[in-house]
Structure 1
Amino acid sequence: MVSGVRKSYAASVQEVMGVYNLVDKMEKFDRLALSMLRSKFGTAVAARSLSR
């Protein structure tokens, strides 16, 4: 009984950690993509906002 509960608890903890790691990776990727987009389009956007 106790070992089964402990196993399911460990599995749920692993699941949560997996989701957390996935979210963390996605956030890092988003940040990287955003910085890349900003560096790529930053000059164009700045020029456009200045010309307005």
Structure 2
Amino acid sequence: MQGNPTSISKPFHPRKEEAIALNRSISHPSMRSLLVSRYKKITRSLGERNRL
């Protein structure tokens, strides 16, 4: 993990952490595809839930 070590002890802001993770993962094609597949899986499950 990169950045200053002191930030680890501080409580994370979920939205901020998510954005940082997204920005990092975009540089990795495999991570992006993994994120996309996960997102598609979530949206698919939501769609099925709405259909019922």
TM-score range, shorter chain: 0.3 to 0.5
The higher radius of gyration belongs to: 1
- Give 1 or 2: higher helix fraction: 1
TM-score (norm 1): 0.48
TM-score (norm 2): 0.48
- Of structures 1 and 2, the one with the larger relative CO (CA 8 A, separation 6+) is 2
